[in-house]
């Protein structure tokens, strides 16, 4: 998997969340899905293994309007 990121965004993210994209990239290459799942299931801290660079913020998501049709 190829990782790309903006260094300015990396610095902001590092200051805000304490997670460096460089460290995240290294960790993502080290851990398999089975290992990740096991850590998660055991309640271990998995933040260092997560890649937040492609995550979206909930405020960026628009709620879809749902309605029932009257027949």
Residue ranges of the domains in the chain?
Answer: 7-60
Report the percentage of the chain scoring pLDDT > 90. 0
Supply 65's token pair: 């309007």
Half-sphere exposure of 59 (CA within 13 A, CB side): 0
**CA distance readout (Å), 23 to 36, 51, 66:** 16, 10, 41
> What does 37-66 look like in DSSP terms, one character per residue?
HHHHHTT---GGG--GGG---GGGSPPPP-
pLDDT in tens, 16-68: 877 787 776 666 666 677 777 787 788 877 776 666 665 555 555 555 666 67
pLDDT in tens, 11-21: 888 888 777 87
């Amino acid at each position: 998997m190829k990782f790309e990121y903006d260094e300015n965004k990396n610095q902001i993210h590092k200051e805000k969340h304490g997670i460096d994209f460089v460290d995240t990239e290294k960790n993502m290459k080290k851990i398999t899905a089975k290992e990740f799942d096991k850590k998660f299931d055991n309640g271990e801290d998995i933040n260092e293994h997560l890649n937040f660079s492609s995550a979206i913020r909930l405020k960026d998501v628009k709620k879809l309007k749902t309605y029932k049709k009257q027949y």
